[in-house]
Structure 1
Amino acid sequence: MRDRPSDTGVLAKVYARSLEVILAGQAASGAYPACPAYPVYRYSWLRDGSFIAESMSRVGQADSAAAFHDWCAAVITAREDRIGSLLRAADAGETIPRSAFLPTRYRLDGTDADTSDEQWWDFQLDGYGMWLWTVGEHARRHQSDPRRWQKAVVLTVRYLARFWDRPCYDWWEEHPEERHTSTLAAIHAGLRSALRLGLLDTELARTCSTVCDQIQQVVQREGIAEGHLTKWLGGRAVDASLIACLTPFALVPAEGDIAESTLRAVEETIAHGGVHRYAADTFYGGGEWPLLAALLGWHYARIGSREKAWRQLHWVADQADARGDLPEQVPDHLLHPEYRLQWIQKWGPVASPLLWSHAMFLILADELGFTGEAPGSSPEPTPHPSTTDTPLRGESQ
């Protein structure tokens, strides 16, 4: 980590480069690749893509965001029969293998990724919840008609409402045997967003609302230890993805007791300027992730800790290379350096530029009112409403 903060010129350079990287990387189909320069990331994830679309929606690139939503809607509606088969199998009590569920990543043309040459960890639910969430944010922000995505929204709600409690891979494509709190938060936020869009019939809306209640109940019972949210239900570990349970997904109120304890646990274990994924992380040695530093800054901004939020924005900008490209992670403070070389030998240098990293920089910049000019000349951002109205039971208001 550099020992000096970025100046305004560096912030402006990274801001401009972030726009350039994302817009240049977006495929004609509307899909966002995770990283065009990194072979195993030349696909589109709904998780990465949802945050990338959110950044574009915020910074005046609404057409780019809408094109991604069109692509997602086409991907999901093309799998209507597959979703129907999964629902029927579940209703019949059949055992469903992970390989049968919807993929977590797709080729840029919307077809399933080829897994014959490389194994991938494909059953993940978080991205589908995130897509519903960001569609709602985009429609609200731009007062656009969401009916163009209605069929896909309905299919996604039916899919998540039936399978939300299945163990699956987490944000980091690990631990498929667990139910992950950040995954449940993404699903909860997505289903709440779908309800607000007004695209569901009465029965599906009722089911959607019931599942939201069930998610909060199970997190209350099994997803809290020592007062803070945990990496997965029944566990005790802390993970940086838990920040998203506070901001932006608001599974708990951002300034309530559980949120404060969760933030403190993250700060004390895996955050010190940059943010690690979790304490036992060995991927490329377990470095600090710019996108997670920006996520932490986003939460700081939401709770009014603007000085801390600005420090996170500066830290992220300081991780850019000479071109302004942001990587997936940086090696300045590795948790387990003995593992770094084996990943370089397997997949090459750390992915860069990572579109998700650039997107999170833009989101935090927008949250702080920074638009590529001197911070003092930027207006205060319009406050964003909370994305939940059902705090966990016992949560202070």
Structure 2
Amino acid sequence: MSVILAGQSESGAYVASPALEEYRYSWLRDGAFVADAMSRVGKTASAEAFFGWCSEVVLARAERVEELIARHRSGEVIADGEHLPCRFTTEGEEVGVPWSDFQLDGYGLWLWALDAHERRHGTRLDGAAAGAALTERYLAEFWAEPCFDWWEERRGVHAATLGCVQAGLAARGRPEAAAVREALHELVEPPLDGSLLCLAEPFDLVDPTALLDRIEAGLLSPGGGVHRRPADTYYGGGEWLLLTCLLGWCRLRAGREDGARAALRWTAEHATPEGDLPEQARDHLLAPGWYETWSARWGPPASPLMWSHAMFLTLAAELGEA
């Protein structure tokens, strides 16, 4: 928790990682999982500050959202660069450099996390209500549009993105949530990707047992960590700590507590001496030659990564260890 709190700006935003220049921004996706973790362990002020920041970020672009909705309803095609971005400075400004910015998952995720927080603690955050209402209208209009995936690499209609959007719309009671769920289940077997784990836990949209069988057969390393995808080359394609915790959470959902605890131990074993949890481990690289390529470009992999800490905290809480 101390690492997460140290990475939270006075504005309420969580920086993805203070260690890597490209990650010194706040993503709605990462932040939503961080806020949810903090909510689970009773750090309500931290979570609520993030939700307030999200609301302010969206409301600051209210005129733009209304214009986008009107243009889309008139039949106009909206370019990716015109949509709301996936990341902002901690002060809520747009970063202004080329990026795979059109990503809908984070907008669904912050609505889901907000609703879960309010239900968990029996409260209502009036300060976030207007921003949440505008966000749900934006998602209800654009949920079917192709956008970039969790990893900001592939443009298309992605199962994990649909899961995040469905969760957000369902949290708000939007009828479009049913259409999103139907679209998700109509996808012919999605490409193997660690992000699919979210469909079982926390969103309960698929059978965890079948999904675990697929992920463990194709993405689980010999040591117990989880890769993003079979042909990953980012920093050599290491094992992602956040995905390993997500795997553990799904194992717990499937009644495999020992496997969940094994995932938690594996993650803890990959903390630095300072207690930081990095983005990736190098135990079993899928494409070793790419590690140096990315290191030369951006420096070492991000450490700490707030999303890694959040998923560790969530899994620990679910196991009664936080």
TM-score (norm 1): 0.79
1:29 and 2:11 equivalent? Answer: yes
Give the AA of the match of 2:57.
V
- Contact 2:104–2:161, Cα closer than 8 Å, also in 1: yes
- Contact 2:15–2:23, Cα closer than 8 Å, also in 1: yes
Structure 1, unmatched stretches of 5+, are 1-18, 196-207, 231-236, 372-397
1:250 and 2:197 equivalent? Answer: no
- Counterpart selection for 1:121 from 91, 94, 100: 100
Give the AA of the match of 1:217.
E
Q: CA deviation at 1:128?
A: 0.3
Partner of 2:181: 216
After superposition, the C-alpha distances for 1:257-302 in whole angstroms (9 at most, x for unaligned) are xx42222110100013100000011100100000000001111122
Question: What is the rounded CA distance, in whole Å, between the counterparts of 2:42 and 2:77 in structure 1?
Answer: 46
1:44 and 2:32 equivalent? Answer: no
Question: What is the rounded CA distance, in whole Å, between the counterparts of 2:50 and 2:128 in structure 1?
Answer: 11
Give the AA of the match of 1:63.
A
SS in 1 for 2:279: coil
1:164-183 paired onto structure 2 within 5 Å: 164-176=143-155, 178-183=156-161
Question: What is the rounded CA distance, in whole Å, between the counterparts of 2:225 and 2:311 in structure 1?
Answer: 13
Question: What is the rounded CA distance, in whole Å, between the counterparts of 1:56 and 1:191 in structure 2?
Answer: 22
- Counterpart selection for 1:264 from 183, 204, 213: 213
Structure 2, unmatched stretches of 5+, are none
Question: What is the rounded CA distance, in whole Å, between the counterparts of 1:30 and 1:245 in structure 2?
Answer: 27
Question: What is the rounded CA distance, in whole Å, between the counterparts of 2:210 and 2:42 in structure 1?
Answer: 35
Partner of 2:127: 148
Partner of 1:10: none
Q: CA deviation at 1:239?
A: 0.5
1:56-71 paired onto structure 2 within 5 Å: 56-71=38-53
Q: CA deviation at 1:146?
A: 3.3
Q: CA deviation at 1:213?
A: 1.8
- Contact 1:121–1:169, Cα closer than 8 Å, also in 2: yes
- Contact 2:163–2:184, Cα closer than 8 Å, also in 1: no
- Contact 2:150–2:161, Cα closer than 8 Å, also in 1: yes
- Contact 1:35–1:42, Cα closer than 8 Å, also in 2: yes
After superposition, the C-alpha distances for 1:43-72 in whole angstroms (9 at most, x for unaligned) are 000000001001111112110000000100
Q: CA deviation at 1:240?
A: 0.6
- Contact 2:251–2:259, Cα closer than 8 Å, also in 1: yes
Question: What is the rounded CA distance, in whole Å, between the counterparts of 2:24 and 2:126 in structure 1?
Answer: 30
Inter-CA distance 194–146: structure 2 relative to 1 (3 Å threshold): farther
Give the AA of the match of 2:210.
S
Partner of 2:85: 103
Question: What is the rounded CA distance, in whole Å, between the counterparts of 1:20 and 1:219 in structure 2?
Answer: 37
TM-score (norm 2): 0.97
- Counterpart selection for 1:289 from 237, 240, 257: 240
- Contact 1:133–1:193, Cα closer than 8 Å, also in 2: yes
Question: What is the rounded CA distance, in whole Å, between the counterparts of 1:60 and 1:260 in structure 2?
Answer: 30
SS in 2 for 1:121: coil
- Contact 2:276–2:303, Cα closer than 8 Å, also in 1: yes
- Contact 2:212–2:250, Cα closer than 8 Å, also in 1: no
- Contact 2:212–2:251, Cα closer than 8 Å, also in 1: no
Partner of 1:94: 76
| Matched length | 320
Q: CA deviation at 1:147?
A: 3.0
Partner of 2:272: 321
Q: CA deviation at 1:344?
A: 0.5
Question: What is the rounded CA distance, in whole Å, between the counterparts of 1:305 and 1:89 in structure 2?
Answer: 49
1:346-357 paired onto structure 2 within 5 Å: 346-357=297-308
Q: CA deviation at 1:152?
A: 1.0
Question: What is the rounded CA distance, in whole Å, between the counterparts of 1:97 and 1:132 in structure 2?
Answer: 24
- Contact 1:34–1:355, Cα closer than 8 Å, also in 2: yes
